[in-house]
Structure 1
Amino acid sequence: MALQASAGRRFRAYTSKHLDELTARAGLGDDERLAIRAVATVLPFRVNSYVIDELIDWDAAPDDPIYRLTFPQADMLPAEDVARIADLLRGDAPRKEINQAANEVRARLNPHPAGQMELNLPKVGEEPMQGVQHKYHETVLFFPKQGQTCHSYCTYCFRWAQFVGEPDLKMATDEIDRLVAYLHQHPEVTSVLLTGGDPMIMGEAVLSRYVEPLLGVETLESIRIGTKSLAYWPQRFVTDPDADDTLRLFERVVESGKNLAFMAHFSHPREMEPAMVQEAVRRIRGTGAVIRTQAPLIRTINDDPAVWASMWRTHVRQGMVPYYMFVERDTGPQDYFAVPLAEAYEIFRDAYTSVSGLARTVRGPSMSATPGKVCVDGVTEINGEKVFMLHFIQARDPELVNRPFFAKYDEKAAWLFDLQPALGATRFPYEAESPGDASGLVGAAHP
């Protein structure tokens, strides 16, 4: 298999200090480049040589989907905020003043959706473990300290707050021993997800320090790694100096009797075209790991059923398992990238109906909201009322899982909290019961 020219190159990252040069390559004028620099003072920017050289079609930039996936857009933030920061940059204002303006904008962007800094922090002893979330009954999320960056950043990233250099916004820990102690105390936890950032930014020696202790937890059935490294730096598994050692670590996980779920983020079919990616997939699967694929539905990047159908077919051909289509979360530039739920459902349905049953392992469109993962199952009419049909794929309260409920149809709604209860109900099943409301299920009081 012929691998592309960048196969043997060392990793090189480009950051906001390179933005002016790179956006000029996209044919943008001075004012627009300044506006993009202003956006990049609020939201993080990082890209690497592989993405620059192998994935972006520069002749199509700035409309190229991979360019839009990785480069800030001038209109991602409110125009008045961009203009204010652009004026500060133009006037060479002190860095402290620019940072203050950027922080004011960030504070309005819901930097930590779903209460992820406060809710379900597990404890060993009296102290909660920062950088660990016991989000669902059987699942714990772990944010390794050295994995809190990525090979490249996505413009839509809901974890953008991890990357802006503000310590109060970060979730991270290196206390793997405390996690192991917690798991021994909580045998109901059968799955640990290493997330970030991107855990695969870590070298094998560091990654092993986090993974190996988990192998001794008998009640643990699976270890998941959430990563976009296959799309943004497949060399990690093929030509990097520790690629073979990393694959041997994966083999040890599988040999221990645990499932290693490699949760790969692919946002567009082009990310899977290079031969390097296909070789990386082959090598990872050769360890016994299962690659499951997921991504959010993002306006101007993949809001087309043909794009999703193409991705899912490619995943199946390469032995990967389509897993989730997510809804863009209520954070960062959601207003810019979000697709309304009604449209998201139609895109999902059109793509889903055009692929074989092997690709229909995928679920969606799914919202990772505060009470859990809520799937939009469809739009229908009941007793003359047009409604969304919804259910919990996963929930903080296990009793809610797979229980259908209904919301009033709203063509503009883009998130769970934009919706209102339907069919005479006064609340959703995850909301606290109000005095005098005896209905336990949405829809229980329909006419």
Structure 2
Amino acid sequence: MNEGSTRGFRAYTSKHLDGLLQRGGVGDEERLRIRAVATVLPFRTNAYVVDQLIDWSAVPEDPIYRLVFPQADMLPEADVTRLASLLNAGARNAEIQAAANEVRMRLNPHPAGQLELNVPRIGQEPVPGMQHKYPETLLFFPKQGQTCHAYCTYCFRWAQFIGEPDLKFASDDVDSLVSYLKDHPEVTSVLFTGGDPMIMSEAVLRRYLEPLLEVEQLESIRIGTKSLAYWPQRFVSDPDSADTLRLFASVADAGKTLAFMAHFSHPREMESPIVEAAVAGILSTGAVIRTQAPLIRSINDDPGTWSSMWRRQLTMGMVPYYMFVERDTGPQDYFAVPLARAYEIFRDAYASVSGLCRTVRGPSMSATPGKVCVDGVAEIAGQKVFVLHLIQARDPELVGRPFFARYDPKAVWLTDLQPAFADRFPFEPATVQRLSA
């Protein structure tokens, strides 16, 4: 890949999709079907991804292309055919959007009870734009960070980007954030997420970060971002890149850890020299970069890809952190890897790297009760089972305690599993009644 450009950011959205697909030699009928999928799921990319990361001679199999461009078979055939017919007939936009919304509502737009179960309150009033799932960690969704430099086709927060107000959660109320933290001294870490907080300018980001530096209980501030992969210029050549790095340094100066939670889905995202420069710049501020990504069919579902990523990340000074399981939302049926295969991929990749890379954990499901890790497959008392444990849990008493599920080679998510050696999982209420499998 060529070295990243230092020119200004240029976004591509659905209005550019047809022209970009022609660049890849995609035929008329296939382009129409891809455009149909893009009426349901959001599409956004940029010139750096298009010009520097995608191998257009390898389309449609190129992994970065599949990472950011919708595919015609990502949704049920009947839905794609219906939407394509509407587009082809020149239907009114309102009619197309109504049909697209019907499909969206079947895709579990907010998994793990995000809108209902995690909402913090000040007094009796819910506080918008925050989630408090685990005692020590608060998630905050800055209003100006509810987009990304490019959207991943697998993104579990796709509902944030489709323009439906009822499906969004965000806030620009920093005072309420600080007030909530002071009322909840158990919170020691704030995670800024979205979207991508690094879409914000330094001046806007500063408005959110600086007040937290005065909150004594806070030990760490995290930023969840894909910017190192999709727009590393943000830390090297953007007009406010130097100011941004100085802002990062102020977190360390205040005695707190800035944890940069970087998403890398494929080794190619780290090949550009500008990524090396961006990583070096961030690390020079005293920040720690931890890396994570989901396991995605057709993009990174083999051990060699993961071991290559982890080795490269270690060489660059980053810390491998999580391999996630594709969440139960959006086009999960298209991207999901069965849990049994996910464990094999993780195990084989983990076995091929040094101990310094083995900071990584997974494969992990961010499910309603918490982060459930698949530790392995075993035979116990003549029964083949999955061995699991909760890395994080709504109930801290359950963290780290192993439990078992009946082996199912087709299971892709926690809800596909049945408990083994018990009538319920430890996170389920005693009143739960399960049907015998």
Hey, what's the Cα distance between the residues in 1 that align with 2:54 and 2:4? 14
Q: How many positions carry a matched residue from both structures?
A: 434
Name the SS for the 2:365 alignment partner. strand
User: Which one of the candidate residues 302, 305, 310 is aligned to 2:303?
Assistant: 305
Deviation at 1:6, TM superposition (A): 4.3
Hey, what's the Cα distance between the residues in 2 that align with 1:4 and 1:284? 22
1:125-164, aligned counterparts within 5 Å? 125-164=123-162
Contact 2:4/2:274 (<8 A) preserved = no
Deviation at 1:436, TM superposition (A): 10
Deviation at 1:435, TM superposition (A): 8.2
Match in the other structure for 2:86: 88
Hey, what's the Cα distance between the residues in 1 that align with 2:433 and 2:150? 52
Contact 1:131/1:143 (<8 A) preserved = yes
Contact 1:130/1:173 (<8 A) preserved = yes
2:424 is aligned with 1:427:
yes
Contact 2:201/2:240 (<8 A) preserved = yes
Deviation at 1:434, TM superposition (A): 2.1
Hey, what's the Cα distance between the residues in 1 that align with 2:431 and 2:194? 37
Amino acid at match of 2:423: T
Contact 1:342/1:411 (<8 A) preserved = yes
Match in the other structure for 1:224: 222
Name the SS for the 2:359 alignment partner. coil
Name the SS for the 2:39 alignment partner. helix
Aligned pair in 2 of structure 1 residues 435, 172: CA closer, same or farther (>3 Å)?
A: closer
Deviation at 1:155, TM superposition (A): 0.2
Q: Deviations over 1:266-319 (max 9, x none)?
A: 000000000000000000000000000000000000001000000000010000
User: Which one of the candidate residues 3, 7, 10 is aligned to 1:9?
Assistant: 7
Contact 2:3/2:274 (<8 A) preserved = no
Match in the other structure for 1:119: 117
Amino acid at match of 1:223: I
User: Structure 2 regions of 5+ residues with no counterpart?
Assistant: none
Contact 1:7/1:239 (<8 A) preserved = no
Q: Deviations over 1:411-435 (max 9, x none)?
A: 0000000000012x11000101028
Match in the other structure for 1:380: 378
Hey, what's the Cα distance between the residues in 2 that align with 1:79 and 1:236? 39
Match in the other structure for 2:282: 284
TM-score (norm 1): 0.96
Q: Deviations over 1:51-102 (max 9, x none)?
A: 0010000000111000000000000000000000000000010111000000
Hey, what's the Cα distance between the residues in 2 that align with 1:335 and 1:173? 32
User: Structure 1 regions of 5+ residues with no counterpart?
Assistant: 438-447
Amino acid at match of 2:153: T
2:292 is aligned with 1:274:
no
Hey, what's the Cα distance between the residues in 2 that align with 1:200 and 1:388? 38
Match in the other structure for 1:187: 185
Amino acid at match of 1:162: Q
Name the SS for the 1:352 alignment partner. helix
2:335 is aligned with 1:344:
no
Name the SS for the 1:8 alignment partner. coil
Amino acid at match of 2:50: I
Hey, what's the Cα distance between the residues in 1 that align with 2:361 and 2:326? 15
Match in the other structure for 2:356: 358
Match in the other structure for 1:173: 171
Match in the other structure for 1:441: none
Hey, what's the Cα distance between the residues in 1 that align with 2:66 and 2:428? 37
**Identity value in percent:** 74
Aligned pair in 2 of structure 1 residues 133, 436: CA closer, same or farther (>3 Å)?
A: closer
Hey, what's the Cα distance between the residues in 2 that align with 1:280 and 1:5? 13
Match in the other structure for 1:262: 260
Match in the other structure for 1:60: 58
Deviation at 1:135, TM superposition (A): 1.1
Match in the other structure for 1:42: 40
Match in the other structure for 1:445: none
2:412 is aligned with 1:414:
yes
Hey, what's the Cα distance between the residues in 1 that align with 2:171 and 2:415? 31
Match in the other structure for 2:387: 389
Deviation at 1:130, TM superposition (A): 1.2
Hey, what's the Cα distance between the residues in 1 that align with 2:433 and 2:257? 47
Contact 1:352/1:360 (<8 A) preserved = yes
Name the SS for the 1:292 alignment partner. strand
Contact 1:159/1:197 (<8 A) preserved = yes
Deviation at 1:126, TM superposition (A): 2.3
Hey, what's the Cα distance between the residues in 2 that align with 1:8 and 1:187? 43
Contact 2:304/2:349 (<8 A) preserved = yes
Hey, what's the Cα distance between the residues in 2 that align with 1:378 and 1:112? 28
Aligned pair in 2 of structure 1 residues 349, 62: CA closer, same or farther (>3 Å)?
A: same
Hey, what's the Cα distance between the residues in 2 that align with 1:372 and 1:21? 42
Hey, what's the Cα distance between the residues in 1 that align with 2:172 and 2:346? 38
Hey, what's the Cα distance between the residues in 1 that align with 2:373 and 2:143? 31
Hey, what's the Cα distance between the residues in 2 that align with 1:434 and 1:67? 47
